[in-house]
Amino acid sequence: MLSKESLQKIDAATAKYPPDQKQSAVMAALVVAQEEKGHLSTEVIEFVAGYLGMPPVAAYEVATFYGMYDLKPVGRHKLCICTNLPCALAGANEAAEHLKRKLGIGFNETTADGRITLKEAECFGACGDAPVMLVNNKKMVSFMTPEAIDKFLAELK
Amino acid sequence: MNSAHPPFDPGIFGPDAIILKGLTGLNWRLKDYEARGGYQALKKILADRIAPDAVIAEVKKSALRGRGGAGFPAGLKWSFMPRQYAGPKYLVCNSDEGEPGTFKDRDILRYNPHTVIEGMLIAAYATGATAGYNYIHGEIWEIYERFEEAIAEARAAGYLGRNVLGSGLSFELYAHHGWGAYICGEETGLLESMEGKKGQPRFKPPFPASYGLYGRPTTVNNTETFAAVPWIIANGGQAYLELGRPNNGGTKIFSISGHVERPGNYELRLGTPFAKLLEMAGGVRGGRKLKAVIPGGSSAPVVPGEMMLATDLDYDSVAKAGSMLGSGAVIVIDETTCMVRALERLSYFYYEESCGQCTPCREGTGWMYRIVHRIETGKGRQGDLDLLYDVADNIMGRTICALGDAAALPVRSFVAHFRDEFQYHIEHGRCQVGSPAAREMAA
């Protein structure tokens, strides 16, 4: 179900916890699985649960509780823009409107070519760099004015 | 990483900085930390075989209070850990920084990660913890990776692992990441999350010191709290206390955001006037008038600007102004801001992030958001403000964790201080701010 590389990453995460507490690695394992598969299908979640020796429902609870897991397919790039108050005071709503206009999609939608999914997000803890945007969960881009967004989108593969 | 960040200039973090002192953004590695005196406090403790109780006494004397938001005395928290306990004890660093307005732990971890590691080592020595974890906000993945690198450096240098520096102290440390749940910043929600479950807070008591991670004695402290510990041990609790005020020892990192010219982190002595922080941040953006300040993260009650300009930044002074110092996240709001819209966004956040465990919070946050939303969109009804108060009052004190109170406090304070704006929305179906009448009033 998952590649050898992914399983090695999950094993490395598991090694951080006591041998009888493998479940502690489920969040890391689901991130690894999501990265390989693009999103978390029920089958992938069940596989991860089995690999860590926990009930499938317990892994499913985790996958549905935390906001950055994708249970449905997303575009090749997932852009999450924070619109919480500190970002909003610094122009996040304008940035979000600009993104929607440029991409021709709304929040929780994907461009017709399957390239970009746009989401609204809650605080990343980077309000001094507002507006901030998370690219594919792991890269944060800062000071996202409309001009910065244009530059960012032009450089995005 | 974050190439758009403005270049560092000396003293950017404030003249009295101790945690952020001398940082350039590039000098975060072990050799840099050692060059500025890093790991000397740990070495002093190990070499002089200072008793763990004496270390705790020093931290108590410093009046270091929990920097995550609750402000609980750190030394006292450490002293709750059972001395005689057969089995592992844990230390957890709470870097799950998601309180809107707060972004200090991110800068500590990316610019000075070893001070957190040294602080945790000292805490481990004092509390007898055998292993530790740093729970890092999932949204700052690059910082998580950097912390893993810092751990590897410390381990290779003999600071972590079995028999630290030949002293007999053993302490393992690992980085753990979240994946998008505000509630995991609550310390027992965080422990549940670390166990691989939904991050739903636990009923207390028992407190983590007796039943924490995997049911073992556990101390959870905020990143900034651990980061202050090496300085306290190196310079003494009294010296740290004297940086601040009685009962409010030391410096505090203030994350200032919103309508200011230079948002960012400023490390100031506790007790510094808010007006000074505002000045350091370049004042209100565009020379506009200050309307309001949320002084301690989004969960802290809002304070009108004039009142805030007369308030000092320490736990007790901000409490006297009717709010909380909280995490030190200062959100600045100027005169052009509609307070109904601002509250609507915050209320949506708590509705979105309620873990769903307690009915008053799960349902009440939704009700509050929907009422504020209809007022904001011109569909407010007479009696809505009383209804909002009623819902808020029925959440407060009726939930397992503080998220319920955190959702209710902004609602109550926004309506209390800016009731006329809410009333205008209800009566006229539109906003007072930005209308010609409001502009005349502001002029």
What does the block give as tokens for B167? 């002293």
User: Is B349 close to A130, i.e. CB distance below 8 A?
Assistant: no
Confidence (pLDDT) at B11 = 65
Cβ(B387)–Cβ(B370) below 8 Å: no
- Model confidence at B351, pLDDT cuts 50, 70, 90, reads very high
Separation CA B27–CA B21 (nearest Å) = 11
User: Is B139 close to A84, i.e. CB distance below 8 A?
Assistant: no
Q: Which of B138, B160, B403, B49 is nearest to A35 (CA)?
A: B138
Give this prediction's pTM. 0.96
Q: Which residue of B has its CA nearest to A132?
A: B2
Separation CA B229–CA B225 (nearest Å) = 7
Confidence (pLDDT) at B7 = 56
Which tens digits make up the pLDDT trace of B80-136? 999 989 899 999 999 999 999 999 999 999 999 999 999 999 999 999 999 999 999
pLDDT at residue B311 above 80?
Answer: yes
Cβ contacts of A25 on chain B, cutoff 8 Å:
196
pLDDT at residue B435 above 70?
Answer: no
Calculate ∠ Cα A27-A33-A36, nearest 5°: 145
Confidence (pLDDT) at B9 = 63
Q: Which amino acid is present at B263?
A: P
Which tens digits make up the pLDDT trace of B17-26? 999 999 999 9
pLDDT at residue B5 above 60?
Answer: no
pLDDT at residue B1 above 90?
Answer: no
Cβ contacts of B178 on chain A, cutoff 8 Å:
27, 66
Lowest mean pLDDT across A118-127, B116-125, B434-443: B434-443
- Model confidence at B434, pLDDT cuts 50, 70, 90, reads low
Confidence (pLDDT) at A124 = 97
Domains of chain A: 4-65 (1.10.10.1590), 77-156 (3.40.30.10)
Which tens digits make up the pLDDT trace of B124-153? 999 999 999 999 999 999 999 999 999 999
Say yes or no: A137 contacts chain B, CB-CB below 8 A.
yes
Q: What is the mean pLDDT of residues B385-395?
A: 97
Cβ contacts of B305 on chain A, cutoff 8 Å:
none
- Model confidence at A8, pLDDT cuts 50, 70, 90, reads very high
Q: What is the mean pLDDT of residues B369-382?
A: 96
B72 in helix, strand or coil? coil
**Beta-sheet strands, E only, within B234-296:** 251-258, 264-269, 272-273, 290-294
Contacts for A135 with CB less than 8 Å, ≥ 6 apart: A77, A78, A79, A141
Confidence (pLDDT) at B8 = 63
pLDDT at residue B12 above 90?
Answer: no
Confidence (pLDDT) at B442 = 47
Cross-chain CB nearest to B179 (options A31, A126, A128)? A31
**Mean predicted lDDT score pLDDT of chain B:** 94
pLDDT at residue B443 above 80?
Answer: no
B280 phi, psi to nearest 5 deg: -60, -35
B86 phi, psi to nearest 5 deg: -85, 110
Q: What is the mean pLDDT of residues B404-418?
A: 96
Cβ contacts of A138 on chain B, cutoff 8 Å:
141-142
- Model confidence at B178, pLDDT cuts 50, 70, 90, reads very high
User: Is B196 close to A127, i.e. CB distance below 8 A?
Assistant: no
Confidence (pLDDT) at B6 = 54
Cβ(B327)–Cβ(B104) below 8 Å: yes
Say yes or no: B393 contacts chain A, CB-CB below 8 A.
no
How many Cβ pairs closer than 8 A exist between chain A and B? Answer: 168
Confidence (pLDDT) at B433 = 83
Separation CA B421–CA B372 (nearest Å) = 12
Q: What is the mean pLDDT of residues B320-344?
A: 97
Which tens digits make up the pLDDT trace of B148-167? 999 999 999 999 999 999 99
User: Is B88 close to A142, i.e. CB distance below 8 A?
Assistant: no
pLDDT at residue A126 above 60?
Answer: yes
Cβ contacts of B362 on chain A, cutoff 8 Å:
none
Which of B20, B94, B103 to probe the A interface (max A CBs under 10 A)?
B103
Q: What is the mean pLDDT of residues A19-23?
A: 97
User: Is B349 close to A16, i.e. CB distance below 8 A?
Assistant: no
Confidence (pLDDT) at B2 = 43
pLDDT at residue B37 above 50?
Answer: yes
Cβ contacts of A137 on chain B, cutoff 8 Å:
138, 141
pLDDT at residue B440 above 60?
Answer: no
